[in-house]
Amino acid sequence: MRREDVKREELSPMMQQYMDIKDEYPQELLFFRLGDFYELFFEDGETASRELELTLTGKNAGLKERVPMCGVPFHAVTPYIEKLVSKGYKVAICEQLEDPKNTKGMVKRGVVQVISKGTIVDPTLLNEHDNHYIASIMDFNYLYVLCYADISTGSINVLGLPHSKEKLISEILNRKILEVVLKENTDVELIGLLKGSYGIEVSIEENSLENEYQNLYENIEDERYKECIKHLLYYLVVKELKDLSHMSPVNILYADDYLEMDIHTTRNLELVETLRLKERTYSLIWLIDKCKTSMGSRKLKTWLMNPLKNKGLITERYDKIDKLNNEFIIKDKLRNALYEIYDIERIAGKLACGNLNARDLLQLKASLKVLPEISEMIKELQFDYSLNTHEEIYQLLEKSIYENPPVTVKEGYLIKEGYNQELDELKSIRKGGKTFIADFENKLKESTGIKNLKVGYNKVFGYYIEITKGQIKEVKEDLHWERRQTLTNCERYISPELKEKEAMILNAEEKIIDLEYNLFIEIKNRIKKDLLKLKETAEILSELDALASLSVCADEYHFVRPTLNEEHMIEIKNGRHPVIEKVGNMEYVSNDCIMDSSINTLLITGPNMSGKSTYMRQLAIMIILAQMGSFVPAESANLPIIDKIFTRIGASDDLVSGESTFMIEMKEAKNAIVGATENSLILFDELGRGTATYDGMSLASAILEYISKKIKCKTLFSTHYHELVDMERKIPTIKNVHVSAKEENGTVTFLHKVKSGAIDKSYGIHVAKLAGIPNEILNRAQEILNVYEQDSKKKKENKQDDSIQLTMLFEEEQTKDPIKEKLKELDPLRMTPLEAINALYELKESMKK
């Protein structure tokens, strides 16, 4: 049964209400609150039952047949929402907006929030180490503007990007943006790539938010940036009903402030996840993240993915790490205090979005408790942070919230005794109805003089005042008692005061729950006024945690403070790859990397498995660590400020796009050649191996020449094409180095040591032997290799002319051809037939000359 096929006038009132609400959210799965359940109907019910593996049932809705229905308990809805959102569905939560007990007729309902892949705020559904971004993309034909926000932490950023789909997608993937909001006229190819190839949720929205949250972007002058920001805000506020009061002002990111790395570089270097398993374990962030808070982990990852280019800012971080290293006792105390801090950023996000509970407030209180101690440590360390200790909020929470409250906020047992007088009275009544009766009875005896008066209770009449027949005359009219029951030897009365107290006693539990909820909302609203101040505190704590983590790494892994130079030179003594050193089974062999201002390229040769790729990666990792403000894994390091890093390491077909290894090789090589500057770093590992030998060798040679002579940036170029080593003679900025190996009795030992000079042997058959290839194959391979080597030797002896060597030098500036230049100036579309004939005649005469 489909929703649009139903005659609405035949539906029950409740189902008509559902249909009206569903009309406003046709694309979302509508979780419709009915009592203790969320129910989904029609197509939504069928989808949910299939995706959540729940039973599809039916519900009477006024029609002849039952409508399809699937339901989940409201108190256990979180995992169901998580599963649906992870599969790319949007979920609209429809709540009862009135208390059914106080409502006659239909309870008013409405959608209170929409949850999509990029707008989850519940910390139980989020990765504590990662931000959770949703973005808007605006295409200005010559420029892309990307505005992305994390609702859970309240951060929002905007940046401009060159008009290149490749660079835009690289930025989206690097920042792990989960959902993008586009305009309807967006390039269809871009939508297909985002959604089809990379699994990013795509939403279409045309409108912008004009009159709300202007404080977030009031200081931004660029109208293009503003347009993109307002486009994202409309989607979040109007479409997904988000309260953004916790959002910090928009942060403009300028590309020139940071070391640029595309998605290939971050993946090849395994900065945040491994290449093979796509897991955090054994990545660089896994190694250096010693943070005690989730906020610190996210901050450290942000630093890692956005290394600085400003020498002053980098040096500031070095100085703070140095201070922490020297004040190690304070550092240990600081880290112990930070361990007590919960995720204040995401608590603030929950506070703004309305799904905060009392346990979240207890976490906030526990976090605030240690702030005075941390503030004192900051002063001792002489760091330039001014930490707000939020004493008022701490005291409010200390005297108001029970230490062990329930998960939901409508069960009572939230507010401590002594916080609210009315609540205390209600709790006293709930606790001791007997005590109240005794006290009230004594009070009446004193005021009336009736000594044998009793106060009792039964289920029929409730509470009553009992007077013996002989004392009835003492009941004066001015007491306003009302006779309720006559017995043989006594009369029973009720009084206005007793009736009032009776109502209080009998309804105390319900009133306590309502009052505690209202008090909780008051407390929450009070804290909400300091949301931005709490976020400033969280920012400081996250930086302290990240710095302390880098200090621990420097101590634990024997990192050293690098020196930054402006002479474009690299001097690394005994550098190491920190992750391989940590997890490797053998003792790590450290290596120098020396490239003074006269050397731009190291041409690296050596056997497979000898460590060429590791040597290249460790240089890039050292540069990134240094520019994020960390110490580096070396005995000493003198490094330049690098503006961009490009890598081509490893070979794997892109099965999604259908591109071959060689096509990916060439695309990544193109990115480097086109994008690199003199201050960049390029790592090319065995470029050209994806095609035929002579093709690959020629391309590798030409690309290496171009980089060395035209771009002149620092380059590490590993190769198995031993013919390339002759380039050292012809281009003085190239230096040959090799990773050494020792061969004894047919057995190869890899020494992993980088030495000057070239090597002319690959040891491929020896590597195959280590891999366990059968001896029969290995022996035959050796026979074939001997034949090839003899043929190659004969060809070399017969060569007379150096001009046919594979290592061809790039021709310098070629002489310009005047005929070609003249042709370039002609525009046939603007010429008359006669002008075209004359031009052709002139060209022909020129050729004769």
pLDDT, tens digit, 9 for 90 and up, residues 588-621? 999 999 999 999 999 999 887 788 899 999 999 9
Question: Is-contact 726 701, C-beta < 8 A?
Answer: no
Q: Is 693 helix (H, G, I), strand (E, B) or coil?
A: helix
C-alpha gyration radius of the chain? 38
* pLDDT > 60? residue 652: no
The residue whose two tokens read 């605030």 is 368
Q: Which of 261-270, 535-544, 785-794 has the highest mean pLDDT?
A: 535-544
Instruction: Please tell me the least confidently modeled range out of 222-226, 358-362, 416-420, 768-772.
Output: 768-772
Q: Give the three-state DSSP class for 720.
A: coil
The mean-pLDDT minimum among 532-536, 676-680, 788-792 falls in 788-792
Region 320-336: mean pLDDT is 97
Per the CB < 8 A criterion, the answer to whether 602 and 737 are in contact is yes
Amino acid at 147: C
What pLDDT is stored for residue 103 in this prediction? 77
Residue range 192-232, pLDDT digits in tens: 999 888 889 999 999 999 989 999 999 999 999 999 999 99
The candidate with the shortest Cα–Cα distance to 739, out of 634, 637, 623, 603, is: 603
Contacts of 436 (CB under 8 A, 6+ apart): 428, 429, 501, 505
Q: How far is CA 396 from the centre of its chain?
A: 33
- DSSP annotation string for 324-346: HHHSHHHHHHHHHHHTT---HHH
Specify the 3-state DSSP secondary structure of 842.
helix
> Which token pair is 780?
């035959």
What's the residue count for the chain? 849
**Which carries the bigger pLDDT value, residue 706 or residue 788?**
706
User: Treating both helix axes as pointing N-terminal to C-terminal, what angle do 496-506 and 433-448 enclose, rounded to 10 degrees?
Assistant: 170
And the tokens for 254?
Answer: 């300028």
Please report, for residues 55, 56, 71, 317, 683, the alpha-carbon distance to residue 47 in angstroms, rounded to integers and kept in the order given: 11, 9, 12, 52, 48
The four Cα atoms 154, 155, 156, 159 give a dihedral, to 10 degrees, of -170
Of 2-16, 24-38, 304-318, 643-657, least confident by mean pLDDT is 643-657
Q: Is the pLDDT of residue 436 over 80?
A: no
**With bands split at pLDDT 50, 70 and 90, how would you rate the model's confidence at 656?**
very low
Mean pLDDT over 103-122 rounds to 88
The answer for 650, left when phi > 0, alpha when psi is -120 to 50, beta otherwise, is left
The per-residue pLDDT for 365 is 97
What are the angstrom distances between the C-alpha of 379 and each of 384, 386, 510?
8, 9, 50
Of 627, 605, 462, nearest to 550 (Cα)? 627
Indicate the pLDDT class of residue 752, thresholds 50, 70 and 90: confident
Query: Distance between CA 206 and CA 197 in Å, rounded?
Result: 24
Task: Bin 176: left if φ > 0, else alpha if -120 < ψ < 50, else beta.
Answer: left
What DSSP designation does 252 have?
E
Q: Which of 151-155, 254-258, 486-490 has the lowest average pLDDT? A: 486-490
pLDDT of residue 380: 96
Question: Strand 37-41 to strand 67-73: parallel, antiparallel, or no bridges (unpaired)?
Answer: antiparallel
Cross-strand partners of 226: none
CA gap 75, 81 in Å, rounded: 12
> What is the rounded distance in angstroms from the CA atom of residue 232 to the CA atom of residue 250?
12
pLDDT score for 688: 72
Place of tokens 């490094």: 639
Cα separations in angstroms, 773 against 118, 651, 747, 766: 49, 21, 15, 10
3-state SS record for 487-549? CCCEEEEECHHHHHHHHHHHCHHHHHHHHHHHHHHHHHHHHHCCHHHHHHHHHHHHHHHHHHH
Task: Return the minimum-mean-pLDDT range out of 114-123, 213-222, 247-256.
Answer: 114-123
Helix or strand run (H / E) with residue 468:
strand 462-468
> Cβ distance 217 to 229 under 8 Å?
yes
- Residue 792 confidence (pLDDT): 60
Let me know: does 637 contact 622? Beta carbons within 8 Å.
yes
What average pLDDT does the structure give for the chain? 88
The full DSSP string for 563-606 is EEESS--EEEEEE--HHHHHH-SS----EEEEE-TT--EEEEE-
414: phi then psi, degrees, rounded to nearest 5:
-100, -45
Which are the contacts of 840, defined by CB distance < 8 A and separation ≥ 6? none
The pLDDT value recorded for residue 413 is 85
Percent of the chain scoring above 90 in pLDDT: 58
Using 50, 70 and 90 to split pLDDT, how confident is the model at 705?
A: very high
Dihedral angle over CA of 359, 364, 369, 370, nearest 10: 120
Q: Please count the CA atoms within 13 angstroms of the CA of 686 that sit on its side-chain side.
A: 18
75 pLDDT more than 90: no
pLDDT given at position 197: 87
Helix (H) or strand (E) holding 360: helix 358-369
- Spatial separation of the C-alpha atoms in residues 282 and 521, rounded to whole Å: 44
Inform me whether the pLDDT recorded for 813 exceeds 50: no
